[in-house]
Amino acid sequence: MKRSIKKYSDKFVFAAELQHRLAGVGIDSLCMKMYSHDDDVDLVVINSQKYSQAADVLRIDDWKLNNNKSKIRERDKDFFSHDQQKYKIHLHAYFSWNTVPYLDSSVLWSRKRKEQQVFLPSLEDELLIIAVHSLFENMCIVPEEIYYGKNILKNKIDYGYLKSQAGRFHWESGLELIRNKLNNNDSQIAASELLAIRINKLFSDIFQVGFGQIVNEMFAYFFIDWVWCYPKRHKKLYVAT
């Protein structure tokens, strides 16, 4: 049933209502990157098999699919907008970047926390998200993620968990790199560092994941990253995204 429209001025209130709406039809979700100052809410559907159902719920509530050219590289993510809402929804099927998964949704769900009625990843998982987002999409660390990441590091952090999760997806070599850069307010990541992390992951994955994912990784690591993402990274150092 279509619901009456309520306009939201607060991002957390909007995200909480959105999660509640999906939970009402049996769809669990986590919001990520809520520290961002933009008008997007990134929502990850925990059970990817319910992704299409989640998208249908949004359409029932008059959200319009509004994908752009980034759909070429983010094929497991959709953009939704609403004529009467300030915020946009980025709906994700996985914790993936450029169609390559880097974290286990079920593990993140099991460790979730609640802030202002919104289900969020644990602090450790937020650090992992900052690391992956920086290494495999932005190719630098944007100012808001340096600020938020440094604040997370002031807490008691389970570094063993961080290493095990990054290691499971074969990008652990980038984890300590990002941690050091956060501590040193260093936003730059050298092209040689980025390439080494990608090559290490690709060779580690090659006999452990499906052929389709290897194709996705090669497409992301040797085309999308350098032709699409890398030329834009200097702008991202100054304009938080």
- In the numeric block, the tokens 């996705």 are attached to 216
Residue 181 phi/psi, 5-degree rounding, is -70, -35
pLDDT at 1 over 50: no
Mean pLDDT over the full length of the chain: 91
Task: Read off the pLDDT band of 32 (50, 70, 90).
Answer: very high
Instruction: Report the distance separating Cα 241 and Cα 63, nearest Å.
Output: 23
Average pLDDT over residues 140-163: 95
pLDDT at 155 exceeding the cut of 70? yes
Q: What is the pTM of this model?
A: 0.91
Total H helices, total E strands in the chain: 10, 9
Q: Which domains does the chain have, with CATH numbers?
A: 7-121 (3.30.460), 122-241 (no CATH)
Question: pLDDT tens digits for 11-26?
Answer: 999 999 999 999 999 9
pLDDT of residue 9: 62
